Structures are given as structure tokens and as C-alpha cells.
Amino acid sequence: MRAVNWGRVAFTHFRPGGAIAKSYRQVEERGSLASDYIVSGAHVIGPAAARKRDCLLAVMNIEFEDNFTGTPRLQVFGPTGLVAEKPLGDFPPLACRHFLLSELFPGLESDPAHPFTLRMQVPNALMIVSALHLDYVRRDIALEHGSDRHSTFMDIKC
């Protein structure tokens, strides 16, 4: 990602291949969830007219062999626990949408010392979420691919 006007660049890793992603469903602790993704360090600071920090989310249904439509629910956690949640609608296979966190949850603000953790749960499709963290004060960006809560090297043989 390149923010030309700010003179900044950022890079994140890519997700594993389809066979590995499908094996996530076999992890017993996941229950009935096809996807259980976490993104950390998300901030929304300042009112819309004077925003200091925000987070742009890219949500994608990565089903390319099966015809599963995803119905993700996004949860926002702060230092005291769950502070907001919202369904994001239907995502047919290979659909990708972008959401600005401040627009998804108007009025929700993080404390500068305590960023939000985002959790996307999807019962019926393999989906991913990546984050572009925007710092309007420093004119800086950072990317985070996010992680499925059950995609560990111990559980999934890569």
C-alpha cells in the first residue's frame, strides 16, 4: 500500500492457500464457525470533522471452490469487553467490500492508550479481514492482515 500524498508505504503478509484455509474448519475449538478472525490495534479518535485516527477494513469471502455465501458479524472490543457489534450483510463467493470503522459505528471512539480489537465471525464461509490503520496526525499508515483465531502452527501443519 502506498500513500503517495503522505510519502508512506506499508506491506502485510498474504493468507495461506485454500487447502490450508479449509483445514481451519477441522479445529475442534472453533465450533460451527467457518471463520473467526481477529484484528488488533484499531483506533477511532476524534470527531468526523477533525479525525485523528481511523481504520479501513477490507472484508473478503475467499470461497473459490465452493459456493458458500458469507454472513459476517463484526464485534468491537475495548478494555471493558464487547462495546459494539454489527452484521455486515451477505458476501457471495470472492466478494470484497471496504468499511471505514468510524462509519460502521458512528459515535464510537477508542481511548488513545487502549485500541480496539475487532473480531469477525462467519458461520458459513471462509472469510478474511485486513485493516489499514490511518493516522491523520502523523500522516502514517500501517497494514494488518488479521489472523484466524485457530490458525496456529500447532493446529495447522504448514
Model confidence pLDDT, tens digit, residues 112-137:
999 999 999 999 888 889 999 999 99
**H helix intervals, the chain:** 18-23, 101-104
Residue 16 has pLDDT above 90, yes or no: no
Classify strands 116-122 and 73-78 as parallel, antiparallel or unpaired: antiparallel
Kindly list the distances between the CA atom of residue 37 and the CA atoms of 106, 109, 147, 155, in Å, as whole numbers in the listed order. Answer: 22, 21, 5, 16
The domains of the chain, with CATH numbers, are: 2-148 (2.60.290.11)
pLDDT for residue 101: 98
Q: Could you tell me if 96 and 89 are in contact, meaning their C-beta atoms sit under 8 angstroms apart?
A: no
> Comparing 147 with 143, which gets the higher pLDDT?
143
Give the other-Cβ count within 10 Å of 143's Cβ: 16
Give the other-Cβ count within 10 Å of 123's Cβ: 14
- Structure pTM? 0.85
Q: Return mean pLDDT, the chain.
A: 85
